[in-house]
Structure 1
Amino acid sequence: MRVLIVDDSPVLRMLLRSVLESEGFEVREAENGEQALRLLAGYQPDIVTMDVHMPGMDGYETTARILEKYALPVVVVTASADPHAAATAMHTLEAGALAVLEKPLGPGAANFEACIDALLRTLRRMAQVKIVRRPRVIKPSPATPKAASLGAGSQKVVAIAASAGGPAALKTLLSGLATQQPWPLLLAQHIALGFLGSFRDWLASVCSLRVSIAEHGQALQPGVLYLPPDGSHLGIDENLRAHLQGSNGELYCPSADHLFRSVAQHLGNLAIGIQLSGMGRDGAEGLAVLRSQGALTIVQEPTSAVIDAMPKAAIQLQAARQVLAPEAIAALLNSMALRDRSHSTGQGGT
């Protein structure tokens, strides 16, 4: 497998090269974004590792330009303990990077082996992902699906699942939502340990919702987007309170299937489930259960996803009542929120 390392630190490049070459990888290096783009004009790696803070062009802009010109998976490798670096890493995910990983500090560090293991596993998985070019264009405003297709009842919660490529879809979806959402929103997004706080802050910066790390047993409030703490699955109980459950070694934590099944069990058709970009099949079966209970289930249109595996898996299971691009999902939720507020005030939708 061919890897391009983009990092301004010669020490880090030497460390990563040593580790990767010992595993049989072919490695090339670039010390900044400009050099990376020049190399890519004549070299086709299987995957790119990207630093975020470099002289000249930073990791966000470099990633955006790579994805404009080349169909290459990009994985961010940065320091989770540096708030500025972690914040920039979130923007790089927004640009289309597939994952963010903690930068290994060296063989003497306590978590060195764990960092290297996560790096190798992620590179091998992400190098297999089919990437599409992401031209930076302004999309037209979407048409809102007809009210007849929205389903009946007053929904009580929105459950959202995303993995690799999810932040790009989340930015479009969440930034398009009206300020007053009449329901709490729960999000299961696969994110590396150590970056949850930065991810929460980034989400808060791209939407008008309040974004909160859920606490076990807390009452869920309308207009708030809840994330599970590191190492926990997120669900609800019969009183619409957050229910957190520790991981038992599952492949994905937080689990989209766990979230959707929990919402299906306690709310049935009074819920909305949304499956966004990601690798694998997490969420497909849970969303199918949610649909079988009469809930409105929405899947991201696969051609609009950075990675279409999770949306396609849900569609194959016939778990989707609607298949929409993220901006159309936002328009649909706004329409339903307006209808819900009209009914609650006795206006009958007028």
Structure 2
Amino acid sequence: MTDKPQQHRPSYDTIAGAPIVAVAPMMDWTDRHCRFLHRQLTGRALLYTEMVVADAAIQGARERLLGFHPAEHPVALQLGGSDPLKLAEAARIGADFGYDEINLNVGCPSDRVQSGTFGACLMKTPELVADCVVAMKATVKVPVTVKCRIGVDEQDPEPALNTLADAVFAAGADALWVHARKAWLEGLSPKENREIPPLDYERVYRLKAKNPSRFIGINGGIQTLDESANHLARVDGVMLGRAAYHTPGVLVGIDALLAHDAAGSFDFEVLIGAMADYASAHIAKGGRLGHITRHMVGLFHGLPGARRWRQILSTDATRPGAGPDILYRAFAEVDFTRDDEAA
């Protein structure tokens, strides 16, 4: 169990609570090393784990699957599953580990979740989703939230999303995060499901208008903080996905956005020092530098020297025995004073 600063816990109170900007749960990407990096870039964003299947949380290697650094707070655990009792037990385990929120995945369209009849498949069974929420809410004191799509397959997103939202809020869900695309369970790969179904932000806005006192957050295709601010005029929260991962520098402005303040300068030298110290500790435990640097490749996107930074991290940092000194060497290639070189 980790010690968490209680003041960091997100509030889903739509009257007294502040807007929330989050980094989406992304399989194979938002592991503990990624989240530690993201926390160095923003103190206020809500971070999400990769989806952890309830059975794995109950029966698997818990420290490997669920462990995290105290600096990551506020951090939410996303669970996958469709058995209310198992999800309740997994939620209890997650809460005991110190997570600030438990989130139920009702949006992932991968073959893995289809074979287990959870993820986006659950859009078709809102009553079961409600039962899962009831079970988790009865077990933990931290917020229980749901992340979904606007519909699946041939569903009409208008009634489908309303029905799901009504069910989960009646069951006690604290928030609903909506990826503003349909999911197609057959015919599209998970990658295609993130790109091909058209975005329909207006559908999420209508859901918020129908539920003014409920927390509704939006996800899907959001690239910049300017876009995030526009969405926050219509909904309660914004979730950044691939933009946060591929160009993590976008996270630097989140704190200023939420504070309604002008963004100040950011000291990347301090960040590199923090990541080098973190890498040293990870390597001392038997880990490899590449476990961490793979999440940092896009950090300096658009700056002179970014190409060289990427090259060093993609080659030298992945070699056996690589140490944190490589981070400093790669950072020395980045030039913050010029903008005339192709990055």
TM-score (norm 1): 0.28
Query: Which has more helix, going by share of residues?
Result: 2
